[in-house]
Amino acid sequence: MQNTEITGWYYVHVSYAARRRGMEVSMTELICIVCPRGCRLAVDEQNSYAVSGQGCTRGVQYGKDELISPVRVLTSTVRVNGAELRQCPVKTKNAIPKGFVFSAMRLLSGIELAAPVSEGQVIIEDVCGTGIPIVATRDIMQAGAQQQPEFCIQA
């Protein structure tokens, strides 16, 4: 049995010692995070990234993509001035390459928005040259402004 390391929300099988000694590691084990099933995938790097252990076709694509070019949807918050809520939740509109996540977080740490903020409003147009925007995921009203109810239940 080989070592397993916790990375984010899933387990990744790695053998750093074998790679340091020049030995070829051909299988990588992943826990699929595409759906709630959490299938244990085995990806054969030497056999065109053949995937086994998946419960659906989405697991095959996830296993290949995770080893070839991993991507993540970034979710965070940014500061808001002049609003009752001091933070606004934001996210990338699409997944960005995993290597850009920390750079994107540094960009977000320096941003302060002025209320009001609309859901879907573009906060950053192009994250790290990927062409993917970061958008607000909630309406933020100005301090003291009356917020209209989204729905009304009549008796």
Q: Which pLDDT tens digit goes with each residue over 94-106?
A: 999 999 999 999 9
pTM of the predicted structure, to 2 decimals: 0.71
Mean pLDDT of the chain: 84
Closest CA to 104 of 114, 94, 115: 94
Domain boundary among 68, 84, 117: 68
Judge whether residue 23 has pLDDT over 80. Answer: no
* Band of pLDDT at residue 3, cut at 50, 70 and 90: very low
What's the number of domains the chain is made of?
A: 2
Which of 22, 21, 43 is CA-nearest to residue 31? 43
| Statement to judge: residues 132 and 112 lie in one domain | yes
Do 42 and 85 sit in the same domain of this protein? no
Asked whether residue 57 falls in the same domain as residue 83, the answer is no
Q: pLDDT tens digit string along 36-89?
A: 999 999 998 888 899 999 999 899 999 999 999 999 999 999 999 999 899 999
Range of the domain at 93: 75-136
Q: What is the pLDDT of residue 46?
A: 84
